[in-house]
């Protein structure tokens, strides 16, 4: 387990330091358009990875927010758990109040994935690119497509990655090809799955102010694991959608049928030309 500093001076635990800054920037885009939170709200962080969204929210609300963070892959979960525990010890008097033991009560971590049905499932864990770990692994054609898209969108990445655009094109392509081919070397891991409704019942949750879902192609599975009786407890939704078989339309229709009157879909600049979209929904 390694560590990497954030802009606020706090160090977070991680598996690959070069993933931290890009992911930390990404998670701050989950609160946009009509998606708002306040102190005391409850958030489901589904697909928490190493916990950067959980960490960011805890800092933003100085611990006064209830977060349930879910990560199925044991190696990644260990880092998530370490980051949540470290929130108790973080003290930067210039920017933040001291975190007290209430943080242990308000940020809870679960070593399971969420899906349509409970049980065990085989995931692919990418040790050198943990953010891509998934129940639906990448094939070589998809990796090749990502290589091309990364070259085309390199100027849209944050520093220092965007500086690669000044390299000769052949060298840029070689670097990206090496990074992705090594990054997407995975190993199979058996993980536990539960459903959102199962967690709601077990934890006696009365409301979810934000359901955040970023689960690398499993997003529809997660939403189908919510029983009709529980949808009314969910106020806002963010989903990273892989638009496979018109999934953006499928998920939009599902949310509309469950009473979400406002839906916004966009694509991040670094994902231009891909099938990945950000979907925001609120009542």
Are residues 36 and 170 located together in one domain of the fold? no
Domain C-terminal end among 185, 204, 224: 185
Provide the pLDDT for residue 156. 94
Dist CA 47 CA 193 (whole Å): 12
- Same domain for 95 and 34, yes or no, is yes
Please tell me the total count of domains within the chain.
2
Residues 144 and 209 reside in one and the same domain = no
Of the chain, the percentage scoring pLDDT greater than 70 comes to 94
- Domain contains 82: yes
CATH number of the domain encompassing residue 226: 3.40.50.150
End residue of a domain, out of 156, 185, 214: 185
Q: Do residues 177 and 194 share a domain? A: no
158 pLDDT higher than 70: yes
* Alpha carbons 49 and 72: distance in angstroms, whole number: 9
Tell me whether residue 130 is in a domain.
Answer: no
Give the pLDDT confidence of 1-53 residue by residue, as tens digits: 899 998 877 889 999 998 998 999 999 999 999 899 999 999 999 999 999 99
Cβ contact 211:234 at 8 Å: yes
27 and 66 housed in the same domain: yes
Same domain assignment for residues 98 and 159 = no
Above pLDDT 90, what percent of the chain? Answer: 86
Domain range spanning residue 80? 2-121+189-282
pLDDT band at 96 (very low <50, low <70, confident <90, very high): very low
Same domain, residue pair 116 and 152: no
Q: For residue 179, give both structure tokens.
A: 């990074």
Are residue 23 and residue 40 in the same domain, yes or no?
yes
Whether 227 maps to a domain, the answer reads yes
In a domain, 132, yes or no: no
CA separation for the pair 56, 132 (Å, rounded): 20
Kindly state whether residues 257 and 169 are assigned to the same domain. no
Whether 129 maps to a domain, the answer reads: no
Claim to verify: residue 114 and residue 211 sit in the same structural domain: yes
pLDDT band at 62 (very low <50, low <70, confident <90, very high): confident
195 shares a domain with 56: yes
Asked if the model's pLDDT at residue 250 lies above 50, the reply is: yes
**DSSP one-letter string for 92-106:** -TTT-PPP-THHHHH
């Amino acid at each position: 387990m390694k560590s990497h500093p954030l802009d606020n001076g706090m160090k977070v635990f991680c598996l690959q330091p070069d993933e931290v800054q890009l992911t930390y920037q990404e998670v701050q885009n989950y609160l946009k358009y009509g998606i708002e939170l306040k102190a005391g709200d409850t958030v489901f962080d589904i697909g928490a990875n190493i916990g950067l969204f959980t960490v960011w929210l805890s800092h933003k609300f100085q611990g006064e927010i209830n977060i349930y963070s879910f990560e199925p892959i044991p190696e990644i979960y260990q880092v998530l758990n370490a980051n949540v525990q470290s929130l108790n010890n973080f003290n930067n008097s210039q920017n933040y109040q001291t975190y007290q033991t209430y943080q242990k009560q308000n940020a809870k971590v679960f070593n399971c994935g969420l899906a349509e049905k409970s049980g065990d499932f085989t995931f692919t864990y990418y040790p050198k690119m943990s953010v891509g770990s998934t129940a639906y692994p990448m094939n070589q054609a998809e990796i090749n497509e990502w290589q091309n898209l990364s070259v085309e969108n390199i100027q849209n990445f944050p520093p220092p990655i965007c500086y690669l655009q000044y390299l000769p094109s052949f060298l840029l392509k070689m670097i990206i090809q090496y990074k992705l081919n090594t990054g997407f070397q995975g190993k199979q891991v058996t993980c536990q799955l539960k459903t959102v409704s199962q967690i709601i019942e077990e934890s006696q949750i009365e409301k979810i102010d934000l359901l955040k879902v970023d689960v690398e192609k499993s997003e529809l599975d997660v939403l189908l694991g919510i029983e009709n009786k529980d949808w009314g407890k969910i106020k806002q939704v963010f989903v990273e959608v892989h638009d496979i078989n018109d999934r953006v339309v499928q998920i939009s229709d599902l949310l509309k049928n469950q009473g979400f009157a406002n839906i916004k879909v966009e694509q991040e600049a670094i994902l231009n030309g891909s099938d990945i979209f950000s979907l925001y929904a609120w009542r």
